[in-house]
């Protein structure tokens, strides 16, 4: 199966001709499959005939390139809605959930309490004792009914409520009431303090269907999956390889509800839930955790059977596989409410996945991401799946370079992920699309031409780490029961105390190379046999209970069987209590002398656990994955810190670059992904080449981001005292609202001339009827172009610019009027020039016209060379003397960001991450032309980030190779 696929974001008005070359480009870069993903900003209506024509073009492109076509099963996200069609077609399928309305009353009554909106299930009054504890709930539902409490405006009406009589207009007084709700009117049997709690059923406000019911999910399959089968059925199991489901949820409710829930609950647990509903809202007594646990068990079963199992079965029946993720896998408290025991929910899914968002991955402070990725990889290991996936590289920013992408994907692979649905390859970034999930990792990314380096590395590494056996001896009990017993607040907050401690333990284990799998309670119950042997695919020697308050009584019994048979069970932080099925004895102590309690798991104790032995400075930042495959022991090492790691791993001497990785054949002690690592230990410089370079740039570009706006007074004169705003910062347009003409002015200073200057816009740059003037001269002959996106427009303006021997003011004017008028996106100036910002505010750039080639006495950042907002490629050239043939290496020093090295026009290597070293094999002694092509990431162009860019060196010739 494929290891790296592209989420192809279909987010504009789709043109099959453009799709044809885009699919070819994705395949040529090394993507093994595509997800045609309906995305925000899609102007071709989803599932219209034009949509299907676009998908036909994608499918044909996949067929011709040998790549896989995967179904993205939703109109954007989340899955299960079919773009709203499920609920629109049958409003009775809308998601529902419980809401709790709580009030405190004191005295003899009578008490009147209005509840929150919703259909009342039950209401209870709980007496509060002197010690603050709650007594047995009294069912007061019979004292509840509906009433309106809010009077509207009192006014004189002049109407007869009929258009046939209204002209007479007899005046009369009227008012009315609104906000009909359930309310309680009750006199307690005895005076006292009471807590009143009402449990109400509320319908969702969105379009989520009830995924606790199989009917809604079946309808979702009919609407979202069946059309693909009808159109492409002959390709199912061939070109059409699978489907991805993306974060289905029960409508955002912390306690989802469906009409059959009470009956299903009784079937599962043997008692009636309704009289015990108060335990969901309040800490009533020791029964409350058990009732919540039982609630979540039924919710888990219903959601898993209705959604995951049904979708997986549909895919399996039609010859394709199911991949996806269910919710924020790393956010355990939210998961406990939306997908209880999420780990177990992945059992029927062919490729269980996670979805870590953002750039803060791999760090100790971002340990929740460790947890989330481990849930996905553990599910694969437990349930016999060869692949665990990630919806990877989402919203990591335009600052992301190829080496940053590698860092993220290496981190994933160190935690057991070997399947990637790469986020954000956008059909277009025109307009607000550029900010939806930046960056686009497609052709709009300035380092796109170097993506094959990354994709090849990921594909080879993921395939090497697929199959065989995960060598892991530690099982960490997934905290499903303990989390299910939390009294969740109205808004689930991250890092609740129990959750933070679990993430901290995960970080402690991984940073000490004590790899583990999560194991869910049901799987543990099923796989500890009567002899106490744990029969999972992995041979776990120890089960750790991570800061648990509760676990299921059946789990406790399984753990005792395991420990009595010689297995090791360690409770960290607390010894959890066991929750049984009988509410007359809901909690029990279960542990005996065979189960150890460790109040705090410290590094000394961690080192007593089975794992790899690692020595060397920085070892706490080395994450390791150990697998056995084809008779070999494979180690994948990931170094998350900036500095290199040099040390020993289980006796093998290794060197892992900072923010880099190493795949080690542990049997032969050879490193196959970094054969030059020995150079990093003792390089011997022969010569340094840091001067006398010639540098040739692509056309420079300058974002015209700061504009002054005012109403058009007919003079056309620029007024720079008018309100200004920065389009790059997405500041609000200060022009007055309406459709009347407005003027926008942007200025820069120019010395010399820029004959090849052109303005580049997006289709969405200017709204309404518009024209552009440069120094008062109208600019015409706009043409379709692809400067950085398929939706670009450009026009030549070199002849309209003013320059000279001293800086000369130039003004670009946009005039717009009519419906929707306004300047919304950043226009760009392209051409042969250098630029500098002499003021802290980037509103007043100084430009100098000239050629694109410079001579450098020493290596400098591109900003110093006059390219502060340039993202693209420059080629460095110089003559060098090679002293002898062979055993030589070129060390480029610091590179921002990707380098391609050539000698005498022959490409030797491409370097996208450290170490930036190129063997000079086959180069005869003598004088040669060395050229180094440098490309940086899009942040300087897209965000004016002014990040360091260029070849910064030192460039040295090393003896060794």
Q: pLDDT-based confidence at 493, cuts 50/70/90? A: low
pLDDT (tens digit per residue) in 455-472? 999 999 999 999 999 999
Q: What is the rounded average pLDDT of the residues 427-451?
A: 97
- CA dihedral angle for residue 838, residue 841, residue 847, residue 851, rounded to 10 degrees: 90
Q: Give the residue ranges of DSSP H helices in 196-277.
A: 214-224, 226-232, 261-269
Q: What is the rounded average pLDDT of the residues 568-575?
A: 96
CA nearest to 488, candidates 256, 770, 830, 732: 256
pLDDT the model gives residue 675? 38
* Measured distance CA(491)–CA(760) in Å, rounded: 46
CA nearest to 321, candidates 242, 229, 384: 242
pLDDT the model gives residue 162? 83
- Is pLDDT of 522 > 90? yes
* Measured distance CA(128)–CA(135) in Å, rounded: 6
pLDDT (tens digit per residue) in 171-217? 888 899 888 999 999 999 999 999 999 999 999 988 999 999 999 99
CA 240 to chain centre: 25
- Is pLDDT of 492 > 60? no
Q: What is the rounded average pLDDT of the residues 83-102?
A: 96
Q: What is the rounded average pLDDT of the residues 113-134?
A: 95
Q: What is the rounded average pLDDT of the residues 401-418?
A: 98
pLDDT (tens digit per residue) in 732-780? 999 999 999 999 999 999 999 999 999 999 999 999 999 999 999 999 9
- H or E element in which residue 125 lies: strand 119-127
pLDDT the model gives residue 103? 96
As a whole number of angstroms, the longest Cα–Cα distance in the chain is 110
pLDDT (tens digit per residue) in 591-620? 998 999 999 999 999 999 999 999 999 999
Q: pLDDT-based confidence at 961, cuts 50/70/90? A: low
| Rounded alpha-carbon distances, angstroms, from residue 599 to 542, 577, 605 | 17, 16, 11
Q: What is the rounded average pLDDT of the residues 399-425?
A: 98
pLDDT the model gives residue 395? 95
pLDDT (tens digit per residue) in 7-54? 999 999 999 999 999 999 999 999 999 999 999 999 999 999 999 999
pLDDT (tens digit per residue) in 826-879? 999 999 999 999 987 778 899 999 988 999 999 999 999 999 999 999 999 999
Question: Higher pLDDT residue, 665 or 42?
Answer: 42
CA nearest to 293, candidates 312, 318, 268: 268
Q: pLDDT-based confidence at 682, cuts 50/70/90? A: very low
Q: pLDDT-based confidence at 673, cuts 50/70/90? A: very low
Q: How buried is 615 (Cβ within 10 angstroms: 0-12 exposed, 13-18 middle, 19+ buried)?
A: exposed
**Mean pLDDT for the chain overall:** 94
End-to-end CA distance of the chain: 36
pLDDT the model gives residue 676? 40
Strand partners for 492: none
Q: What is the rounded average pLDDT of the residues 269-293?
A: 96
pLDDT the model gives residue 489? 61
* Measured distance CA(338)–CA(349) in Å, rounded: 17
The string of DSSP letters for 532-577 reads: --B-SSS---EEEEES-SEEEHHHHHHHHHHHHTT-EEEEESS-PE
Strand partners for 796: 758
Structural tokens at position 166: 């209204």
CA gyration radius for the chain?
Answer: 33
Q: What is the rounded average pLDDT of the residues 249-271?
A: 96
- Is pLDDT of 63 > 80? yes
Strand partners for 662: 637
pLDDT the model gives residue 841? 73
DSSP 308: I
pLDDT the model gives residue 674? 43
pLDDT the model gives residue 494? 53
- Is pLDDT of 677 > 90? no
pLDDT the model gives residue 496? 60
CA nearest to 777, candidates 741, 742, 811: 811
pLDDT the model gives residue 671? 42
* Measured distance CA(115)–CA(414) in Å, rounded: 51
pTM for the whole thing? Answer: 0.95
* Measured distance CA(936)–CA(402) in Å, rounded: 9
């Amino acid at each position: 199966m494929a290891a790296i696929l592209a989420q192809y974001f279909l987010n504009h008005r789709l043109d099959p001709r453009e799709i044809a070359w885009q699919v070819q480009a994705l395949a040529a870069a090394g993507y093994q499959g595509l997800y045609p993903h309906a995305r925000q900003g899609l102007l071709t209506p989803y599932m219209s005939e034009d949509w299907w024509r676009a998908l036909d073009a994608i499918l044909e492109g996949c067929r011709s390139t040998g790549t896989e076509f995967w179904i993205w099963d939703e109109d954007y996200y989340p899955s299960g809605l079919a773009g709203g069609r499920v609920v629109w077609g049958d409003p009775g399928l809308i998601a529902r959930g419980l809401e709790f309305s709580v009030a405190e009353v004191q005295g003899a009554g009578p008490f009147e309490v209005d509840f929150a909106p919703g259909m009342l299930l039950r209401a209870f009054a709980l007496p509060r004792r002197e010690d603050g504890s709650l007594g047995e709930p009294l069912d007061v539902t019979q004292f509840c009914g509906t009433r309106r409490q809010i009077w509207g405006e009192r006014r004189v009406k002049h109407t007869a409520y009929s258009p046939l009589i209204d002209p007479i207009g007899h005046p009369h007084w009227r008012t009315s009431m609104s906000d009909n709700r359930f309310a309680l009117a009750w006199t307690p049997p005895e005076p006292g303090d009471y807590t009143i709690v009402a449990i109400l059923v509320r319908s969702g406000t969105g379009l989520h269907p009830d995924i606790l019911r199989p009917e809604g999910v079946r309808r979702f399959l009919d609407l979202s999956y069946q059309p693909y089968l009808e159109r492409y059925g002959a390709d199912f199991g061939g070109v059409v390889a699978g489907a991805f489901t993306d974060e289905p949820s029960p409508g955002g409710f912390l306690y989802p509800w469906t009409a059959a829930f009470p009956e299903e609950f009784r079937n599962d647990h043997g008692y009636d839930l309704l009289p015990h509903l108060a335990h969901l809202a309040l800490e009533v007594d020791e029964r409350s955790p058990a009732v919540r646990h039982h609630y979540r068990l039924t919710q888990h079963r219903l959601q898993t059977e209705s959604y995951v199992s049904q979708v997986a079965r549909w895919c399996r029946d039609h010859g394709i596989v199911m991949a996806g993720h269910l919710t924020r896998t790393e956010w355990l408290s939210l998961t406990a409410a939306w997908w209880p025991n999420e780990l177990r929910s992945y059992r029927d899914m062919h490729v269980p996945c996670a979805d870590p968002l953002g750039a803060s991955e791999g760090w100790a402070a971002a340990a929740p991401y460790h947890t989330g990725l481990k849930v996905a990889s553990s599910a694969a290991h437990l349930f016999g799946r060869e692949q665990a996936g990630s919806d990877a590289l989402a919203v990591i920013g335009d600052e992301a370079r190829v080496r940053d992408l590698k860092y993220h994907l290496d981190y994933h692979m160190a935690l057991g992920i070997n399947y990637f649905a790469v986020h954000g390859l956008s059909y277009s970034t025109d307009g607000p699309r550029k900010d939806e999930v930046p960056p686009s990792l497609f052709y709009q990314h300035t380092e796109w031409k170097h993506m094959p380096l990354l994709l090849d590395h990921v594909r080879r590494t993921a395939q090497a780490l697929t199959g065989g056996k995960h060598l892991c001896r530690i099982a960490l009990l997934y905290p499903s029961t303990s989390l299910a017993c939390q009294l969740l607040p109205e808004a689930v907050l991250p890092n609740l105390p129990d959750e933070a401690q679990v993430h901290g333990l995960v970080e402690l284990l991984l940073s000490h190379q004590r790899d583990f799998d999560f194991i869910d309670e049901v799987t543990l119950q099923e796989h500890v046999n009567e002899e106490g042997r744990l029969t999972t695919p992995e041979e776990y020697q120890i089960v750790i209970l991570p800061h648990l308050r509760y676990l299921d009584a059946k789990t406790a019994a399984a753990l005792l069987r395991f420990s009595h048979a010689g297995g090791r069970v360690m409770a960290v932080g607390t010894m959890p209590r066991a929750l049984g099925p009988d509410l007359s004895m809901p909690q029990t102590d279960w542990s005996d002398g065979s189960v150890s309690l460790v109040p705090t798991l410290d590094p000394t104790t961690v080192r007593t656990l089975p794992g790899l032995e690692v020595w060397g400075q920085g070892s706490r930042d080395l994450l390791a994955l150990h697998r056995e495959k084809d008779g070999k022991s494979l180690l994948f090492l990931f170094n998350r810190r900036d500095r290199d790691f040099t040390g020993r791993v289980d006796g093998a001497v290794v060197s892992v670059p900072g923010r880099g990785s190493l795949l080690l054949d542990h049997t032969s002690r050879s490193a196959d992904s970094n054969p030059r690592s020995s150079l990093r230990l003792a390089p011997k410089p022969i010569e340094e080449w840091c001067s006398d370079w010639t540098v040739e740039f692509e056309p420079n570009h300058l974002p015209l981001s700061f504009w002054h706006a005012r109403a058009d007074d007919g003079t056309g004169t620029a007024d720079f005292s008018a309100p200004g705003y920065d389009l790059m910062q997405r500041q609000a347009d200060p022009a007055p609202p309406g459709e009347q003409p407005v003027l926008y002015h942007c200025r820069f200073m120019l010395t010399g001339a820029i004959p090849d200057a052109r303005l580049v816009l997006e289709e969405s740059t200017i709204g309404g009827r518009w024209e552009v003037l440069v120094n008062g001269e109208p600019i015409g002959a706009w043409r379709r172009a692809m400067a950085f996106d398929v939706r670009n427009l450009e026009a030549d303006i070199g002849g309209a610019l003013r320059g000279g021997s001293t800086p000369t003011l130039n003004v670009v004017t946009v005039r717009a009027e009519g419906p929707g008028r306004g300047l919304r996106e950043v226009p760009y100036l392209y051409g042969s020039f250098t630029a500098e910002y002499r003021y802290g505010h980037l509103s007043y750039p100084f430009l100098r016209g000239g050629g694109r080639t410079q001579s450098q006495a020493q290596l400098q950042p591109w900003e110093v060379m006059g390219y502060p907002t340039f993202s693209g490629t420059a080629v460095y050239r110089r003559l060098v003397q090679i002293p002898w043939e062979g055993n030589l290496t070129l060390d480029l020093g610091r590179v921002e960001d990707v380098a391609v090295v050539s000698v005498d026009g022959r490409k030797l290597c491409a370097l996208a991450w450290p170490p930036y070293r190129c063997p000079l094999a086959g180069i005869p002694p003598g004088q040669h032309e060395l050229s180094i092509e440098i490309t940086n990431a899009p942040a300087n162009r897209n965000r004016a980030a002014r990040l360091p860019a260029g070849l910064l060196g030192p460039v040295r010739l090393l003896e060794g190779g």
